[in-house]
Amino acid sequence: MKSLDIFCVAEVAIDHIADAGSITDNASSTLLHSVKRYYGGMGGNFSAVASIFGVKVGILAAIGRDDPDSIDYKKYLENRNIDTDYLLQEEWSSISKCFIFNEKEKQRLFFYPGTATQHTEKYMKYAMNLAEEVKSEALYAAFTDFELNKFYLSRGNARIKAYAPAHNTHRHSRKDFSECLEHTDVLFVNENEAAIMENIMEKNIFEIADDFGIGVVARTMGKDGCEIIIDGKPTAITACRINRMLDPSGAGDAFAGAFMANYIKGGDAINSAKIASATASFIVEERGCQTGIPSIDALQERIKRNYGDIILKE
């Protein structure tokens, strides 16, 4: 059995990010000012950020065998000292793809899960067979597939289990959420996802956390910072001052990656959230979910400028 600090079960993807002249809901075409390819996916973004803090991260996701994008992405992850032994590479597997269209602060996102959609049964069998092979301090579950999230949250061999429903929040029923949340120690949601969850569960986020015994809820709110709820008590954390807002894509994944990497070292959720907020502030300054990942020195300086003396633990 392999031991990891964090085992991330979530997709890696190739992001195609475009600047749109105008995003509308009508049937007319939209002029794109630019289109560029980036490394992305919730699992890839989370792992790439968590790895800068010196933790041992492994990732479970599907990629292609002969696809140049998949081969390049795997090498990139390995160069970041991420364990890629659990990346599925078969003739029938393929990497996920995400298409993101930005117009100022407005964004439209379309996600294609690839293998999880094309070969669901095969992928489920592969992923589920790994549950007993990995022991980790923390598990981060953010799969597109609800059943895989539920399986790993209930069966994964980890001391701390974190869950991020993300862009699938609106697809879940009350039963779906309940089956995941009963095994969740740390919940990551943005303000929109929290509102959707509250509507589905017919309870506010404090009641949800209390009902399921969730020790920490991180509710991110973009330029308004974040709120950390620990055992029912909220703490507001202001957002870091940034140099520019260019692309919000991946900021939530970066927050989660930085938070978990630091939380498992010291267990201080407030300081971990401040470090995570500072980390995410670099991401929005660049195009692409991983382009702006900071150096530790640059991050330490921004943390000090915004939150005071918080020392990053080795």
Domain spans, the chain:
2-21+35-307
pLDDT tens-digit readout, 31-55: 888 899 999 999 999 999 999 999 9
Q: Please state, for a pLDDT cut of 70, what percent of the chain lies above it.
A: 99
Cβ distance 84 to 59 under 8 Å?
A: yes
Confidence of residue 146 (pLDDT cuts 50, 70, 90): confident
> What's the pLDDT at 314?
61
Average pLDDT of the residues in 230-254: 93
Q: Please state, for a pLDDT cut of 90, what percent of the chain lies above it.
A: 70
Q: How far apart are CA 158 and CA 298, in angstroms?
A: 31
> What's the pLDDT at 147?
87
> What residues contact 59, with CB distance under 8 A and at least 6 apart?
7, 8, 9, 10, 12, 43, 44, 47, 77, 82, 83, 84, 86, 87
Could you name the CATH architecture of 2-21+35-307? 3-Layer(aba) Sandwich (3.40)
Does the pLDDT of residue 25 top 80, yes or no?
A: no
Cβ distance 41 to 10 under 8 Å?
A: yes
